[in-house]
Amino acid sequence: MEDTKIQWHPGFVAAMNLEFLQNKDDLVFVKEHNLNTKPLEIDLLVIKKGGSAKISNEIGRIFRVYNIFEYKSPGDHLDADVFFKVLGYACLYKSYGEVLDLRKAEEITVSFVRDSKPLGLFRYLEENRYAVTCHSHGIYYVEGNVPFLVQIVVTKELDKHAHAWLRALSSNLQKEDALRVLYKIPGLDGAFEREMADSVLAVMAKANGSLVDGLRGENGMYYETLFKILEPNLPMLMEKSIKNGENDVYEALFTALEPKFPMLLETVRNEDIQRTISVLRDFGHYDKDIRAAIMDKYSLTPAKADELLNTPPATSK
């Protein structure tokens, strides 16, 4: 099955780190936390450092001290048995403290994350007198005979702007979601954030090859710029990849291009904004209204908005 070749879980851990960047100093992310033996493993444990820290991301509003995440890739099932298995893991985690009742039940939360809504599980919970309530788009709280605070996160229902990283973990990604992720990359600071973004991009590209190829093919400017950057190095790169026994020459080119991604993506993003400006002007909108619109839609500073408004759009040859 092709899905098994895609490393979804590292992409999920990376996406969660990026989701909670605003609280990176308040949270500790522990991936694949072992309970005792290797088969008993929590996908992601997020430990909240200080009790007073306010988590800005709505997925984290349920957070207490110890926050357990179970991630299911698009090809995996999330059913009643998985639900209770993970609650069992949470019970084990609670009981494995160094001293009696070190980890209190009220300090533990359990979150299930999946691309699409687990309708069978929802039906089971409702039929067995659990209350499932929609807290916000894509976030469902489960109440009833459960020992911990529990939520189910349906990533495709999450707000498309606020949760671009998690929404990218899909095997049926929409073009707009892919572009949203690409637009976010130039705004990342530091090697760690870029490394996390790389993990998400790797999953996104592998799970949505046709879409990613289509995005490359649609934008002639992107291809032209790409070729101009790589052209002087193509013979060397091909020779190196063959010498190293690499069958995928494209992968070698991708690796060489990676440091220049921020510049390329910023160029593509600016052209997209300028096309929007041009269309709005054609429809008779004034620049002051366009300025406010693009600042809101693209999260631009006033200076950047003015720069784009005063820059003539690139002409295609």
Enter the DSSP assignment of 53.
P
- In terms of phi and psi (left: phi > 0; alpha: psi -120 to 50; beta: otherwise), the region of 192 is alpha
pLDDT confidence of residue 221: 46
Local confidence band at 297 (pLDDT 50, 70, 90 cut-offs):
confident
pLDDT tens-digit series, residues 73-108:
998 999 999 999 999 999 999 998 889 999 999 999
Where is average pLDDT lowest: 120-124, 150-154, 210-214, 302-306?
210-214
Local confidence band at 251 (pLDDT 50, 70, 90 cut-offs):
low
pLDDT tens-digit series, residues 226-235:
444 444 555 5
pLDDT confidence of residue 216: 59
Alpha-carbon distance values, 281 to 153, 240, 304 (Å): 40, 49, 18
Give the ranges where the chain is alpha helix by DSSP (H): 8-19, 80-95, 119-127, 164-167, 175-184, 190-207, 209-218, 220-230, 234-243, 249-257, 261-282, 287-298, 302-309
Enter the DSSP assignment of 101.
T
**Average pLDDT over every residue of 124-143:** 97
pLDDT confidence of residue 223: 44
Local confidence band at 313 (pLDDT 50, 70, 90 cut-offs):
low
pLDDT confidence of residue 202: 87
Range with top average pLDDT, 13-27, 143-157, 188-202, 250-264? 143-157
Residue 267 pLDDT > 90: no
Q: How many CB atoms lie within 10 A of CB 118?
A: 21
| 74 close to 171: Cβ distance less than 8 angstroms | yes
pLDDT tens-digit series, residues 168-192:
999 999 888 888 887 777 677 788 9
pLDDT tens-digit series, residues 41-74:
899 999 999 777 889 999 999 999 999 999 999 9
pLDDT confidence of residue 131: 97
Residue 219 pLDDT > 80: no
Residue 4 pLDDT > 80: no
Range with top average pLDDT, 23-27, 224-228, 278-282? 23-27
- In whole angstroms, give the CA distance from residue 147 to residue 167: 29
With 0-12 / 13-18 / 19 or more C-beta atoms within 10 angstroms meaning exposed / middle / buried, residue 114 is buried
- The chain-wide mean pLDDT, for the chain, equals 83
- In whole angstroms, give the CA distance from residue 250 to residue 236: 13
With 0-12 / 13-18 / 19 or more C-beta atoms within 10 angstroms meaning exposed / middle / buried, residue 57 is middle
| 154 close to 140: Cβ distance less than 8 angstroms | yes
Percent of the chain with pLDDT over 90: 52
Between helix 287-298 and helix 261-282 the angle, nearest 10°, is 140
Closest CA to 19 of 7, 9, 29, 5: 29
- In whole angstroms, give the CA distance from residue 284 to residue 102: 65
Where is average pLDDT lowest: 166-175, 205-214, 281-290?
205-214
Residue 254 pLDDT > 60: no
| 125 close to 132: Cβ distance less than 8 angstroms | yes
Q: In what order do the strands lie in the sheet with 108-114?
A: 27-34, 41-48, 66-72, 108-114, 149-154, 139-143, 131-136
